[in-house]
Amino acid sequence: MFKRFVIIFSILGILYIPFRMVIKSYALEKIQGTVKQVRASSNRIPYYTFSLEEYPCSFYNKGNGTLSLLKTPPKPGEQSASLMIQSSDRSLLNSNESIFYFAFHPKDKLIDLYYSIVRPGIFTHFTFLFLYFLILLLNALGAYRYPKQDIFTHLIKGYLLLIFLLMFL
């Protein structure tokens, strides 16, 4: 019973972030326009705010982690800019409020989705780390109790990788 519980719980924990990314990606809508103005913060990881000529609102995306350095920044006057916003923010397009955007360039979509799930706040980030560490300990206990089962060692490696990714990216 313990073995089955730990294996199922571990697999669900590993698949949680990818499943949330898939679910969240279906709730995004693409909008297009021409970049009018870009403001970058002076932080170590840039925070971009820009506006499109077609909409009065501004768009922002926080530079949450090291992976944000791989993203291509928006440039003023860039023709046919294509970005994604949440479907619930569609009504804010004709207001003067700021809207969080995803994927200014298509290759940045996974990075933005990852950070929107893992780092919406410090509490969520530490909760993920704590739960993954607990599951890692359960797998270590499973590897101790069932030494001939290689699945526990593979799950331990997977959770060490996940903890590393959550801490440093």
pLDDT in tens, the chain (169 residues): 899 999 999 999 999 999 999 999 999 999 988 888 888 777 777 777 888 888 999 998 876 777 777 787 777 766 678 889 999 999 999 888 999 988 888 888 888 898 888 888 888 889 989 999 999 999 999 999 999 989 999 999 999 999 998 888 7
134 and 153 part of one domain: yes
107 and 161 part of one domain: no
Q: What is the pLDDT of residue 68?
A: 74
Q: Which domain holds residue 111?
A: 27-117
**d(C-alpha 43, C-alpha 58), whole Å:** 19
**Biggest CA pair distance of the chain:** 63
**d(C-alpha 135, C-alpha 13), whole Å:** 8
Domain boundary among 74, 92, 117: 117
**d(C-alpha 120, C-alpha 64), whole Å:** 9
Which of 98, 102, 78 minimizes the C-alpha distance to 30?
Answer: 102
Domain count, the chain: 2
90 and 56 part of one domain: yes
Q: What is the pLDDT of residue 79?
A: 67
Radius of gyration of the chain (CA): 20
62 and 80 part of one domain: yes
In terms of C-beta density within 10 A (0-12 exposed, 13-18 middle, 19 or more buried), how is residue 165 classed? middle
pTM reported for the whole predicted model = 0.82
Q: What is the pLDDT of residue 84?
A: 92
Side-chain half-sphere of 53: how many Cα atoms within 13 Å?
10
DSSP conformation class of 108? G
